[in-house]
Amino acid sequence: MSDKSRPSTLSVYLYVPNIIGYVRIILNCFAFAICFKDKYLFSVLYFISFACDALDGWFARKLNQVSTFGAVLDMVTDRISTACLLVILSQVYRPGFVFLSLLALDIASHWLQMYSSFLVGKTSHKDVKDSSSWLFRAYYGNRKFMGYCCVSCEVLYIILFLLATKETENLTDVLVNAAMQSWMYLTLFALILFGWTIKQSVNLIQIKTAADACILYDINKKQRD
């Protein structure tokens, strides 16, 4: 007999947080399709999609619709969205290598973290209570702090895209000129650059701790064998 209380595959696909994830994908597709035609509309759509990242998590907990598929969908959407924006910035600014390096760091750190988490039997890549790094624990242990750092990164990238007026802007010149022209930009940059720095530091820590977890898993497996 089939278990009627067991959710079907279709029902999981139709979880409210997963539907929000599909909407995020549609918003991003449309946003990137018009990014060079209407930079401001792109920025609005991109940020709405980004903001929905917090919304789907809230619904998942509120409706008890947490799923592994939803977690993977959420992370893949986040990583691809940020990656696409970083690729665009790498074509607009010089040196473009800066943004490509940030792209590689972002994807590598999150992929390694998720893989190592599942490898050791954790249900979430955000479960870092056993980490020796206080910054790593503080980042994943406090939703508001993590939200501030994530928002800082995305807002910084959006502002850089909006500030670019030609195809080969010098990154340093744009930041300095904007900060000198307006105290609002100076204050905003100070706030978001701090959060951005924390986020990149966490990405570096994440790579190291995830790599350590993979190596320790192999060592423990050999000892058991």
78 counts as catalytic: yes
Backbone phi, psi, residue 168, to 5°: -125, 70
Q: Label residue 95 left, alpha or beta by phi (over 0 means left) and psi (-120 to 50 means alpha).
A: beta
The CA distance from 82 to 78, in Å, is 6
**Overall residue count recorded for the chain in this entry:** 225
Per-residue DSSP letters for 93-122?
A: EESTHHHHHHHHHHHHHHHHHHHHHHHTT-
Residue position matching structure tokens 């999150």: 110
The residues, any chain, with a CB within 8 Å of residue 67's CB and separated by 6 or more, are 12, 15, 17, 18, 60
Quote the CA–CA distance of 203 and 150 in Å, as a whole number: 12
Which of 78, 106, 212, 218 is the catalytic position?
A: 78
Q: Is the C-alpha dihedral spanning 186, 190, 196, 201 positive or negative?
A: positive
Catalytic residues, by residue number, are 78
